[in-house]
Amino acid sequence: INTEFLEQVRETWPDDYLRLGRMSIVAEYPERGIRMAYLATVAGIKVNGVAELHSQLLRDKVLNDFAELWPDKFT
């Protein structure tokens, strides 16, 4: 899943290697692991928060790279 997703990111932002690291579902540094919110965002059809404020925070702060890639996914 991560490999296919990062290909899409590379196609959208070809030379933005920092963004690739930020958006990777698999965290490499400083800790290794799976970023579950990222996986849910990639796999899901829509992303929304519990309240409008929460949704805005997701768009603006937590998942802002994803919101730039898929603005229509965020409700």
What mean pLDDT is predicted for residues 49-71? 95
DSSP labels, 3-48: HHHHHHHHHHSTT-HHHHHHH-SEE-SSS-EE-HHHHHHHH-S-B-
pLDDT one-digit tens code per residue, 5-16: 999 999 999 999
pLDDT exceeds 80 at position 67: yes
pTM of the shown model: 0.90
